[in-house]
């Protein structure tokens, strides 16, 4: 009998002249040549395999004997193997896990963080070495995201222990972890009087705590964090070095003896209530209606009691916040449920490790101050994500205090969030009554993320803390590229190979501070990812500050310009992993973006691939008179649409009444002559116009406010079939479809006059837009044969619209791609810019490829 490995035939395979079979060899499937056997074996039969050939059919007893013989030979034989694990594996407790797993299997070897990820060498019984590889993949720590495990056989070196080697640097290519909300174990210790970290505001472990906002470089080690200046006390050091401890190599490890210190100070930086616990003192201030600046993970918050109308109103006044809603942090899920209607998906988002602000319909009679989110149908809720937050909202048994705190970013509207302590005192002086701060520096600003849950999936609104800098996998490899994003809700991105990293939310590019923040953010992103961009991509808009920034920072590198709505569609395609040659029907609805014909685009249907796009349909043009003025005063857009629809400006029409006489006269002249106007096909502006037309909102303080309120009004409509409004679609001379909103505007005006209630009008309008999307997609499918529709652009933050449009499209047999990882708005546009730029595409609407 020759030496062979026994295996059991699973099935015979087609091809290769019937000579191949799938054989189960000790739990793994192998393709084995059966051509040497006299007759093909039956499935279930045992065969002896030698060098890839089945050489003999044996019985079960023969198989057992052969196995026993193999084990005999294998005993005493040692194997050494190197596993290189790439992905999000640093700062997530991977090395302790590698250590504990080796210990459990009695393997020797080592583990180290390197620029490639985590490199592990294990040596011992071959079966145990293989089992180690299986456990690496199957039992990795919860926060780890393994992308690949490469293995390599090495000569055996002996040795008796398993060691954790110092990190090896080099060009960083591993993934840094986002900040993670305090875990249940740490929360338990926080409230345990017997624990040495009882009430320690900076408690964390390998499963939780700050990461992204404290990392100064990779590989991720304490020296490469803003904790470098806090020497560990002996007790923390012992935990840090004990592989059996939950804080083994937890880089931000801290305790009351050695960790950061909390202080409560006044505007002069002098301690408030010295000698008292700063959190207790801060809670007392909050309970008495004061505004406290609280230093968090990615910047300062401004906090006040969300149930106190005076405090909330005062904060709104001081922040010059206008009507923009405040986020509210509540002590626990139970409190959250009393304030808003939460779906199971909402609760999962709220309580998850990322802890975004979750938008959910507010409950009437919640007891929150009306000033929290005036006129807004939704409430932005979040749960504590640091121990300091948990203490601020009170642990069980603490004296009563506010159970719901306004937690809004510490800045005046429009400015970037404040991170520096000195700057916080200075810039927040007009806003806060006291500062609850600590001495751990914040490496990069990072706002809270905002998200919502729609139809069983997440719909991100702002992707920042807890998400950044998680990479997005790309469908094809790209050269090192930088995308500058857009000017509103700015976020930039870098990419190389199969990954793109989007930055945290930066802000609106309307002041110098935000442009500087873009520079700082982009550099930090390069440090964390090791990407050295060779190509820059920016929006086609000649006036975008982000595009100017890209040109200014190009340093001889090429800058490719891409069309705004093409980028929206490409973002959605890329996050869904569509391949390089694929095309979709891309519906890009947003505020406005620069069109190559000089118009302000924003209601576009593009037949798009990554390299090229063709405009297949658009909303009919109406005159846009003065960009910002028309964004902030939706009645101007309503008048433009009335004009375009051929409706006289009757005084009973709400936008006509809302527009001052002189402004109306000027607009009438502008619309008649076209002076000072650009044509726009913006769907976002049409939502604004309808909001004003039906008397919901005539003036706003932030972009899309009128549309958001309109969605809320529509949600109040009675269920069942409502009003049926329809856009009129015609074919333009260039062959593209043009959807005229005129009929919808005229019917809305008629119904308004007839006294149809606003919710019915608003719901009818939403239904008309959803129907338009399905109709335009249908017409596009007829001409192209394409049946995949990608929905992108800020208008799709509207849950009612994206839900309704998706349902209609699916009913008509389309596959619908909607944003899940990145916001549909401009905060997610950098990904599309990257993939277009890296595929050699640009703004030129070339012929279809």
The residues of the shown chain that bind Zn ion, judged by CB under 5 A, are: 183, 186, 205, 207-208, 233, 236, 255, 257-258
To the query of whether residue 82 is one of the catalytic residues in this protein, the response is no
Q: How far is the CB of 692 from Zn ion (least distance, A)?
A: 50
Judge whether 446 and 213 are in contact, CB under 8 Å.
Answer: yes
Residue 623: strand, helix, or coil:
strand
Say if CB 115 and CB 171 are below 8 A apart.
yes
- Chain CA centroid to CA 13, Å: 44
Q: Are 128 and 184 in contact (CB under 8 A)?
A: no
Judged on CB neighbours under 10 Å (0-12, 13-18, 19+), 493 is: buried
Spatial distance between the Cα atoms of 803 and 452, rounded to a whole number of angstroms: 13
In the three-class reduction of DSSP (H, G, I as helix; E, B as strand; rest coil), residue 80 is classed as strand
With respect to Zn ion, which residue has the nearer C-beta, 208 or 486? 208
Please report, for residues 591, 828, 830, the alpha-carbon distance to residue 824 in angstroms, rounded to integers and kept in the order given: 12, 6, 11
Going from the C-alpha of 613 to that of each of 222, 368, 607, 773, the distances in angstroms are 47, 48, 6, 18
Nearer to Zn ion, 186 or 696 (CB): 186
Length of the chain: 849
CB of 91 to Zn ion, least distance (A): 13
Angle between helix 799-811 and helix 705-715 axes, rounded to 10 deg:
70
Q: What is the DSSP string of 19-48?
A: TEEEEEETTEEEEEE-TTSSSPPPTT-EEE
Nearer to Zn ion, 260 or 595 (CB): 260
Q: How far apart are CA 656 and CA 265, in angstroms?
A: 52
Which of 113, 411, 798, 825 is catalytic? The answer is 113
- Identify whether the C-beta of residue 794 lies closer than 8 Å to the C-beta of residue 722: no
Paired with 619 in beta bridges are 739
* Minimum distance, C-beta of residue 283 to Zn ion, in the bound complex (Å): 23
Packed helices 758-784 and 799-811: angle between N→C axes, nearest 10 degrees: 40
At closest approach, how far in Å is the CB of 189 from Zn ion? 8
**E strand spans, 89-144:** 108-114, 117-124
45 or 387, CB closer to Zn ion?
A: 387
The bridge status of strand 292-295 relative to strand 300-305 is antiparallel
Q: Quote the CA–CA distance of 380 and 461 in Å, as a whole number.
A: 11
**Shortest spacing between CB 209 and Zn ion, in angstroms:** 6
Nearer to Zn ion, 186 or 525 (CB): 186
Shortest spacing between CB 195 and Zn ion, in angstroms = 12
Q: What is the 3-state secondary structure (H, E, C) of 187-207?
A: HHHHCCCCCCCCCCCCCCECC
Residue number with CB closer to Zn ion (386 or 630):
386
Q: Which residues pair with 817 in a beta bridge?
A: 790
Return the number of the residue (203 or 359) whose C-beta is nearest Zn ion. 203
Q: Which is nearer to Zn ion, 12 or 353 (CB)?
A: 353
Residues 228-266, buried b or exposed e (16+ Cβ, 10 A)? Answer: eebebeeebeebbeebebbbbbbbbbbbeebbbebbbbe
Task: Name which of 204 and 592 has its Cβ closer to Zn ion.
Answer: 204
Kindly state the smallest distance separating residue 387's Cβ from Zn ion, in Å: 9
Q: Which helix (H) or strand (E) holds 495?
A: strand 493-502
User: Quick one: 259 or 792, whose CB is closer to Zn ion?
Assistant: 259
CB 582 within 8 A of CB 819: no
Q: How far is the CB of 532 from Zn ion (least distance, A)?
A: 35
Contact 199, 429 (CB under 8 A): no
Q: 828: which DSSP letter?
A: G
Q: Which residue in 80, 95, 199, 437 is the catalytic one? A: 95
As a whole number of angstroms, the distance between CA 207 and CA 539 comes to: 39
What is the nearest approach in angstroms of Zn ion to the Cβ of residue 738? 57
Contact predicate 539/546, CB 8 Å: yes
Least Cβ distance, residue 414 to Zn ion (angstroms): 36
DSSP state of 743: H
How many Å is the maximal CA-CA distance in the chain?
Answer: 104
What is the number of H-type helices and E-type strands within the chain?
24, 33
| Closer residue to Zn ion, CB minimum distance, 192 or 849 | 192
Complete DSSP assignment for 451-464:
EEEETTEEEEEE--
Nearest distance from residue 263's CB to Zn ion, in Å?
19
d(CA 50, CA 48): 7
Instruction: Tell the smallest beta-carbon distance from residue 269 to Zn ion (Å).
Output: 26
Q: For 147, phi and psi rounded to 5 degrees?
A: -95, -40
Q: Closer CB to Zn ion, residue 438 or residue 453?
A: 438
Is residue 204 annotated as part of the catalytic site, yes or no?
A: no
| Active-site residue list | 95, 113
């Amino acid at each position: 009998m020759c030496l062979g490995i026994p295996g059991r035939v699973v099935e015979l395979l087609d091809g290769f002249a019937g000579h191949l079979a799938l054989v189960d060899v000790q739990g793994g499937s192998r393709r084995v040549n059966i051509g040497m056997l006299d007759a093909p074996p039956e499935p279930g039969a045992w065969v002896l395999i030698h060098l890839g050939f089945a050489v003999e059919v044996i019985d079960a007893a023969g198989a057992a004997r052969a196995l026993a013989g193999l084990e005999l030979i294998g005993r005493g034989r040692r194997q050494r193997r190197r596993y290189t694990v790439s992905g999000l594996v640093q700062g997530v407790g991977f090395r302790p896990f590698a250590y504990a797993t080796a210990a459990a299997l009695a393997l020797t070897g080592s583990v180290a963080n390197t620029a490639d990820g985590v490199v592990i060498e294990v040596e011992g019984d071959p079966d145990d070495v293989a089992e180690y590889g299986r456990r690496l993949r199957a039992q990795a720590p919860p926060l780890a995201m393994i992308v690949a495990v490469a293995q390599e056989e090495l000569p055996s070196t002996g040795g008796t222990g398993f060691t954790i080697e110092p990190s090896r640097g080099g060009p960083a290519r591993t993934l840094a972890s986002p900040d993670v909300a305090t875990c249940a174990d740490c929360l338990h210790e926080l409230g345990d009087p017997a624990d040495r970290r009882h009430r320690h505001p900076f408690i964390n472990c390998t499963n939780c705590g700050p990461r992204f906002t404290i990392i100064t470089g990779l590989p991720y080690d304490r020296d490469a964090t803003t904790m470098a200046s806090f020497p560990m006390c002996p007790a923390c050091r012992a935990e840090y070095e004990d592989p059996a401890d939950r804080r083994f190599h937890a880089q931000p490890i801290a305790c009351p003896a050695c960790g950061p210190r909390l202080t409560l100070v006044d505007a002069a930086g002098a301690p408030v209530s010295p000698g008292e616990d700063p959190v207790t003192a801060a809670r007392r201030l909050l309970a008495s209606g004061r505004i406290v600046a609280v230093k968090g993970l990615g910047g300062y918050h401004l906090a006040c009691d969300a149930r106190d109308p005076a405090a909330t109103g005062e904060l709104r006044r001081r922040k010059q916040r206008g009507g923009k809603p405040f986020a509210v942090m509540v002590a626990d899920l139970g409190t959250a449920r009393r304030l808003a209607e939460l779906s199971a998906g909402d609760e999962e988002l709220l309580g998850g490790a990322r802890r975004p602000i979750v938008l959910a319909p507010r409950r009437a009679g919640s007891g929150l101050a009306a000033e929290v989110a005036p006129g807004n149908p939704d409430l932005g809720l979040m749960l504590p994500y640091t121990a300091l937050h948990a203490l601020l909202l009170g642990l069980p048994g603490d004296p009563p205090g506010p159970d719901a705190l306004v937690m809004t970013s510490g800045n005046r509207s429009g400015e970037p969030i404040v991170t520096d302590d000195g700057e916080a005192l200075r810039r927040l002086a007009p806003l806060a009554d006291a500062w609850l701060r600590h001495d751990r520096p914040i490496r990069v600003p990072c706002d809270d993320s905002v998200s919502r849950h729609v139809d069983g999936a997440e719909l991100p609104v702002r992707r920042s803390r807890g998400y950044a800098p998680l990479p997005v996998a790309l469908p094809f490899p790209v050269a090192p590229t930088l995308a500058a994003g857009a000017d509103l809700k700015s976020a930039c991105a870098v990419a190389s190979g199969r990954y793109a990293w989007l930055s945290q939310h930066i802000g609106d590019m309307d002041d110098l501070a935000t442009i500087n923040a873009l520079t700082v953010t982009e550099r930090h992103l390069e440090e964390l990812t090791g990407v050295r961009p060779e190509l820059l991509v920016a929006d086609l808009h000649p006036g975008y500050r982000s595009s100017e920034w890209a040109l200014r920072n190009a340093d001889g590198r090429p800058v490719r310009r891409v069309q705004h709505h093409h980028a929206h569609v490409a973002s959605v395609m890329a996050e869904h992993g569509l391949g390089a040659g694929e095309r979709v029907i891309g519906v890009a609805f947003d505020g406005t973006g620069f069109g190559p014909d000089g118009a302000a685009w924003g209601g576009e249907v593009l037949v798009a691939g990554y390299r090229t796009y063709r405009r297949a349909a658009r909303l009919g043009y109406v005159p846009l008179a003065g960009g910002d003025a028309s964004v902030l005063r939706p009645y101007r857009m309503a008048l433009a649409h009335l004009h375009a629809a051929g409706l006289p400006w009757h005084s009973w029409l709400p936008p006509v009444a809302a527009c001052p006489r002189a402004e109306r006269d000027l607009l009438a002249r502008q619309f008649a002559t076209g002076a000072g106007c650009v044509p726009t096909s913006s769907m976002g502006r049409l939502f604004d116009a309808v909001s004003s037309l039906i008397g919901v909102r005539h003036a706003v303080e932030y972009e899309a406010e009128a549309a958001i309120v309109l969605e809320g009004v529509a949600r109040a409509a009675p269920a069942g079939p409502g009003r049926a409004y329809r856009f009129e679609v015609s074919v333009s001379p260039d062959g593209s479809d043009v959807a005229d909103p005129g009929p919808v505007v005229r019917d809305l005006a008629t119904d308004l006059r007839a006294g149809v209630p606003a919710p019915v009008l608003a719901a009818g309008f939403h239904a008309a837009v959803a129907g338009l999307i399905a109709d335009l997609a249908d017409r596009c499918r007829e001409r192209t044969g394409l049946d995949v529709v990608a929905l992108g652009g800020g208008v799709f933050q509207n849950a009612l619209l994206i839900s309704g449009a998706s349902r209609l499209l699916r009913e008509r047999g389309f596959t619908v791609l909607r944003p899940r990882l990145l916001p549909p708005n401009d905060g997610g546009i950098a990904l599309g810019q990257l993939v277009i730029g890296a595929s050699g595409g640009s703004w030129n609407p070339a012929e279809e490829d």
